[in-house]
Amino acid sequence: MLKGFKFILAEAFKLFNKGRQKSIFFLITLILSQLFFIILFFASSRPFLLLLFPVLLMIINIKYINYYIQCYRAEIKLVEKLNCKPSFVRYPLLLITFIPNIMALFMTYITVKVFYSFYANCLSPVLFHSSPLGDIFDASILAFFLLLIIVVVILSDFYLFLKHGIG
């Protein structure tokens, strides 16, 4: 089990190295899209806008994982030819999608937290002479986003794995 996990981690790392620029671009896109939706959500205070977020996230994820499947085609073919477990190609691909998504979420969370605390503690008392209302972007929203991301990543990966015959 541990041997297999080590192997999958090493493969994910190699895959990440192969498309490093793409991963960084993907990470930036994710952070910007998340920030955009958070701002949009709090500015308009309309919950239905939040429904657009998983759709956008799914489109971005599908494009990203498709790129990595193309990079990993030789490995997929090798595993298929040798009748080995397809999990050896599935898990590195899944890992490579999860890591930027989770990283983006936490980076967005930290950014919003910093901005909010700056606004609440420094700007708001000076400009509006009022105390902050409380944490708007709290841990429950983070947990909700985390759950949403996990569902979206698994769904988009599952769709692509089926499409490319790795599932």
Helix (H) or strand (E) holding 113: helix 87-118
| Cβ proximity to another protein, 78 vs 147, nearer residue | 78
**79 binds another protein, rule: CB under 8 A:** yes
Answer yes or no whether residue 16 interacts with another protein by CB under 8 A: no
Binding mask 27-46 for another protein (x = CB under 8 A): --------------------
**Distance of closest approach, residue 23 Cβ to another protein, in angstroms:** 18
Residues binding another protein: what is the number (CB under 8 A)? Answer: 15
Give residue 82's Cα distance to chain centre. Answer: 32
- How does DSSP assign 26-83, residue by residue? HHHHHHHHHHHHHHHHHHH--GGGGGHHHHHHHHHHHHHHHHHHHHTHHHHHHHHHTT
From the list 61-69, 70-78, 113-121, 142-150, the region that binds another protein by CB under 8 A is 70-78
Nearer to another protein, 10 or 122 (CB): 10
The single residue among 60, 67, 75, 103 that binds another protein, judged by CB under 8 A, is 75
Where b means 16+ CB within 10 Å and e means fewer, 131-156 reads: eeeeeebeeebbeebbeebeebbeeb
Residues making contact with another protein (CB under 8 A) = 3-4, 7, 11, 74-75, 77-79, 81-85, 88
